[in-house]
Amino acid sequence: MFRLEVRTSTPAWFNLALPLLAIAATLVLCSGLIALAGAGVLEAYGVMFTASLGDSYAITETMVRAAPMIFTGLAVAVAFRAKFWNIGAEGQLLAGAVASCFVGAIPMPGPLAMLLMAVAGAAAGAAVALVPATLRVKFKVDDVVSSLLLNSVIYYALMALIEGPWKDSFSGYPISPPIEDSANFPVLLEGTRLHLGVVVALIAAPVIWFLIVRTTLGFRIRVTGENPEAARYGGIHVERVLISTALLSGALAGLAGVGEVGGVHFQVMSDISPGYGYSGIVVAMLARLNPLGVVPAAIFLAAVMTGAEAMSRATGVPAFLSDVIQGTALLAMLVALLFTAYRIRRVGAAR
C-alpha cells in the first residue's frame, strides 16, 4: 500500500529534478500531437533541438529569444513571491517597448540613448504595474483580473499609436518610425543577432536573486507573500511592499520590451511580443520563482519556440506546438510541485 504524507522539508535536488520531470512529461504528452500530425516524434524533436541548440548560430538565436523571457520571468517571479498576481507582464512589456521607442527616436549620443531607453522603458512598465497594485491596495480590486484587462488596454493603445500618429505615412504600414541607428544595441558577435540586451538580461538574474535573498526589501517581499498577517505583525507595511514589488516587477517586464526595440526590431509593431509576458509565467513557475532558475527555464522555452519553427518547415507539424508545450509545461510543473508538499510512502503490510 502507498500513502501520501505531508512533507516538512524538500531536498535541494528537487529544484532541478522537478522542472526536468515536468519537461520530460510535457514532451511525452505532446508527442501525441506530433504523431497526430503524421510526423515522426523523434525526428520532430530532433529538428527542434538541432535548430535551437545544435550549433553556435542557433544558440545565439535562442539566446536572443530567451532575453525577453528572462526579464518577464523575473518580473513574474518577483511578483508571485509577494503573492502580487501580476499577469500583466505582456502589457508592461508593450509599454516598455513604446516608451523606449519614443526615446530611441530622439537624436543623441548612442550610449546615452541606450541608457535613457532603458530608464524610460522600465519606468513605463512600472507605471503600468502600479495600476493593478494600487487598485488592489486602495480598492480591493482583484489584481489578476485588473492586470489581465490592462493587457488589452495597452495593446489597443499601442495599435492606436501605430495606426495613428506613428503610422508610416510613406508606406502606410502600421509600424512606428525606427529608432536612431546610434541607439541600436551593439551586436556582440559578428554575423549574429546577439545583442547587448541579452547580456544585461543574464546579469539581471543574479542581481534580482541577490535582491530577493539578501536584502531587506527581498525579505519583506518574501514574508509578505508567505504570511501577510505575520508580516504586518512584524511591523512590515504590507501595502507599501506590494507597491514596491509591483514597481520592480513592472520595470523588469518593461525592460523586456526595451531589449526587443533596441536589440531586435529597432521599432514597434503590433506583433513585437508573441506572448512573452504570458510565457514569463511559465518561466517563473518552472524556475520555482527562483531568479537564478529563470535563466535556464527561459532558455528552454526559447529553444522550443525557435525549434518549433524549424520543425514546422521540416515536418509540416504546425509551429503552434510550442504554445501547447508552454501550457502543458506549466500544468505539468504544478503537478510536479505536489512532490514538494507530499511524499509517497510505502505503508508496510507487516504491522
Partner 1 sequence: MSAVFEQIFQVGFLAAIIRIATPLAFATLGEMFSERAGVLNLGIEGIMLLSAMTGFTATSLSGSLWLGVLAAVLTGMLMGALHALFTVALGLSQHVCGIGVTLFSSGLAYFLYRLIFGQQSVPPSIKGFETLPIPVLSSIPVLGPAVFNQFALVYMAILAIPLAAFVLYRTPWGLSVRMVGENPRAADSAGVSVIATRFQAVILGGALIGLAGAFLSMAQFNAFTFGVVSGRGWVAIALVVFGRWDPWRSAGAALLFAFVDALQLRMQASGLGHIPYEAFLMLPFIFTIVAMAVMSRNAVAPSALLKPFRREER
For partner 1, the binding residues in 73-92 under the rule CB under 8 A are 85, 87
137 binds partner 1 (CB under 8 A): no
135 binds partner 1 (CB under 8 A): yes
Contact residue for partner 1 among 163, 186, 213, 230 (CB under 8 A): 163
115 touches 197 (CB < 8 A): no
Decide: is 157 part of the binding site for partner 1 (CB under 8 A): yes
Q: Does 278 bind partner 1 (CB under 8 A)?
A: yes
Q: Enumerate residues 287-316 that contact partner 1 by CB under 8 A.
A: none
Which conformational region is residue 345 in: left (phi greater than 0), alpha (psi within -120 to 50 degrees), or beta? beta
Please give the Cα distance from 84 to 224 (Å, whole number). Answer: 9
Examine residue 148 and tell whether it contacts partner 1 (CB under 8 A).
yes
334 lies in the binding site for partner 1 (CB under 8 A): yes
Which of 25, 149, 187, 196 binds partner 1 (CB under 8 A)? It is 149
Options 281, 286, 299, 304; binder of partner 1; rule CB under 8 A: 281
User: Closest CB to partner 1 among 21 and 119?
Assistant: 21
Q: Among residues 12, 13, 140, 190, which is the contact residue for partner 1, using CB under 8 A?
A: 140
Smallest distance from partner 1 to CB 209, Å: 21
CB of 262 to partner 1, least distance (A): 25
Question: Residue 5 forms beta bridges with which residues?
Answer: 343
For residue 344, give Cα distances in angstroms to 5, 53, 92, 150, 340.
6, 36, 41, 42, 11
Distances (CA, A) of 107 to 113, 170, 349: 8, 21, 78
| 156 interacts with partner 1 by CB under 8 A | yes
Pick from 127, 130, 141, 188 the residue near partner 1 by CB under 8 A: 141
Do 275 and 164 form a contact (C-beta atoms < 8 A)? no
User: Residue 2 interacts with partner 1 (CB under 8 A)?
Assistant: no
Count of residues interacting with partner 1 (CB under 8 A)? 46
Span near partner 1 by CB under 8 A; candidates 119-127, 152-160, 206-214, 256-264: 152-160
Kindly state the smallest distance separating residue 40's Cβ from partner 1, in Å.
16
- Smallest gap from Cβ 47 to partner 1, in A, equals 17
Residue 207 binds partner 1, judged by CB under 8 A? no
- Which residue from 47, 53, 63, 325 is in contact with partner 1, where contact means CB under 8 A? 325
31 to 60: interface string for partner 1, x by CB under 8 A: --x--xx-----------------------
Q: Does 269 bind partner 1 (CB under 8 A)?
A: no
- Give me the residues that bind partner 1 (CB under 8 A), please: 33, 36-37, 85, 87, 131, 135, 139-142, 144-146, 148-153, 156-157, 159-160, 163-164, 278, 281-282, 285, 318, 320-328, 330-331, 334-335, 337-338
